[in-house]
Amino acid sequence: MSQDGSSSEEEVASEEEEEEEDSETMTLPETEQAEEKMEEEEAMLEKYRQERQEEMFPDEVDTPRDLPARVRFQKFRGLKSFRTSPWDPKENLPRDYARIFQFQDFSRTKKHVFRQLEKEETDGAQ
Protein backbone atom coordinates (compact mmCIF):
# COMPACT_ATOMS: atom_id res chain seq x y z
CA MET A 1 0.00 0.00 0.00
CA SER A 2 2.81 2.34 0.73
CA GLN A 3 4.25 1.64 -2.70
CA ASP A 4 0.95 2.43 -4.39
CA GLY A 5 0.53 5.54 -2.25
CA SER A 6 4.02 6.79 -3.03
CA SER A 7 3.58 6.17 -6.75
CA SER A 8 0.30 8.09 -6.76
CA GLU A 9 2.00 10.91 -4.88
CA GLU A 10 4.78 10.90 -7.46
CA GLU A 11 2.23 11.00 -10.25
CA VAL A 12 0.43 13.92 -8.61
CA ALA A 13 3.75 15.71 -8.09
CA SER A 14 4.83 15.09 -11.69
CA GLU A 15 1.41 16.25 -12.95
CA GLU A 16 1.71 19.42 -10.85
CA GLU A 17 5.19 20.05 -12.28
CA GLU A 18 3.86 19.60 -15.81
CA GLU A 19 0.99 21.98 -15.07
CA GLU A 20 3.45 24.54 -13.68
CA GLU A 21 5.61 24.20 -16.79
CA ASP A 22 2.55 24.56 -19.01
CA SER A 23 1.35 27.60 -17.12
CA GLU A 24 4.82 29.12 -17.29
CA THR A 25 5.06 28.61 -21.03
CA MET A 26 1.57 29.98 -21.48
CA THR A 27 2.27 33.13 -19.50
CA LEU A 28 5.58 33.94 -21.21
CA PRO A 29 4.06 34.88 -24.56
CA GLU A 30 1.35 36.80 -22.76
CA THR A 31 3.90 38.75 -20.74
CA GLU A 32 5.97 39.43 -23.86
CA GLN A 33 2.88 40.75 -25.61
CA ALA A 34 2.02 42.80 -22.57
CA GLU A 35 5.56 44.19 -22.45
CA GLU A 36 5.43 45.06 -26.16
CA LYS A 37 2.05 46.69 -25.67
CA MET A 38 3.38 48.66 -22.69
CA GLU A 39 6.40 49.79 -24.72
CA GLU A 40 4.12 50.90 -27.56
CA GLU A 41 1.88 52.78 -25.14
CA GLU A 42 4.90 54.45 -23.53
CA ALA A 43 6.21 55.47 -26.97
CA MET A 44 2.80 56.84 -27.95
CA LEU A 45 2.54 58.72 -24.65
CA GLU A 46 6.00 60.22 -25.13
CA LYS A 47 5.11 61.23 -28.68
CA TYR A 48 1.89 62.82 -27.42
CA ARG A 49 3.80 64.74 -24.75
CA GLN A 50 6.30 66.04 -27.32
CA GLU A 51 3.52 67.12 -29.69
CA ARG A 52 1.68 68.85 -26.88
CA GLN A 53 4.89 70.58 -25.78
CA GLU A 54 5.48 71.71 -29.38
CA GLU A 55 1.89 72.96 -29.59
CA MET A 56 2.20 74.92 -26.36
CA PHE A 57 5.63 76.40 -27.15
CA PRO A 58 6.14 76.33 -30.95
CA ASP A 59 8.94 78.91 -31.05
CA GLU A 60 11.23 77.27 -28.49
CA VAL A 61 14.35 75.53 -29.75
CA ASP A 62 16.41 73.06 -27.77
CA THR A 63 20.14 73.60 -27.86
CA PRO A 64 22.25 70.59 -28.83
CA ARG A 65 24.21 69.07 -25.98
CA ASP A 66 27.45 68.77 -27.95
CA LEU A 67 27.43 72.42 -29.12
CA PRO A 68 27.37 75.48 -26.84
CA ALA A 69 24.36 77.75 -27.25
CA ARG A 70 26.68 80.71 -27.90
CA VAL A 71 28.07 78.94 -30.97
CA ARG A 72 24.69 77.56 -32.08
CA PHE A 73 22.99 80.96 -32.06
CA GLN A 74 25.93 83.17 -33.06
CA LYS A 75 24.32 84.17 -36.37
CA PHE A 76 21.40 85.74 -34.49
CA ARG A 77 21.60 89.18 -32.96
CA GLY A 78 20.06 90.13 -29.67
CA LEU A 79 18.20 93.39 -29.26
CA LYS A 80 17.64 95.20 -25.99
CA SER A 81 14.20 96.20 -27.14
CA PHE A 82 12.55 94.76 -30.22
CA ARG A 83 10.35 97.83 -30.54
CA THR A 84 12.85 100.67 -29.93
CA SER A 85 16.22 99.28 -31.06
CA PRO A 86 17.54 100.54 -34.42
CA TRP A 87 17.23 97.99 -37.18
CA ASP A 88 18.29 98.19 -40.83
CA PRO A 89 15.51 96.50 -42.83
CA LYS A 90 17.80 95.99 -45.87
CA GLU A 91 20.59 94.39 -43.87
CA ASN A 92 20.48 90.79 -45.08
CA LEU A 93 18.61 91.03 -48.37
CA PRO A 94 19.74 89.02 -51.41
CA ARG A 95 21.61 90.82 -54.22
CA ASP A 96 18.68 90.37 -56.61
CA TYR A 97 16.59 92.60 -54.38
CA ALA A 98 18.91 95.56 -55.15
CA ARG A 99 17.34 95.79 -58.62
CA ILE A 100 13.85 96.25 -57.21
CA PHE A 101 12.75 99.87 -57.16
CA GLN A 102 11.32 101.64 -54.15
CA PHE A 103 8.86 104.44 -54.76
CA GLN A 104 7.99 107.23 -52.38
CA ASP A 105 4.40 107.20 -53.57
CA PHE A 106 3.55 104.16 -55.67
CA SER A 107 0.06 105.30 -56.68
CA ARG A 108 1.41 108.66 -57.91
CA THR A 109 4.14 106.93 -59.93
CA LYS A 110 1.57 104.54 -61.39
CA LYS A 111 -0.66 107.44 -62.49
CA HIS A 112 2.36 109.23 -63.99
CA VAL A 113 3.34 106.14 -66.02
CA PHE A 114 -0.22 105.66 -67.31
CA ARG A 115 -0.40 109.36 -68.34
CA GLN A 116 2.84 108.98 -70.28
CA LEU A 117 1.48 105.88 -72.03
CA GLU A 118 -1.73 107.70 -72.98
CA LYS A 119 0.28 110.68 -74.23
CA GLU A 120 2.49 108.43 -76.36
CA GLU A 121 -0.56 106.65 -77.78
CA THR A 122 -2.27 109.94 -78.69
CA ASP A 123 0.95 111.33 -80.19
CA GLY A 124 1.50 108.12 -82.15
CA ALA A 125 -2.10 108.09 -83.44
CA GLN A 126 -1.83 111.59 -84.96
Domains of the chain by residue range: 32-61
pTM of the model: 0.32
30-79 pLDDT, tens digit per residue, is 788 888 889 999 999 999 999 998 888 888 888 888 999 888 888 887 88
Number of H helices, E strands in the chain: 3, 0
User: Which residues have a Cβ under 8 Å from the Cβ of 85 and sit 6 or more positions away?
Assistant: 79
pLDDT value for 69: 87
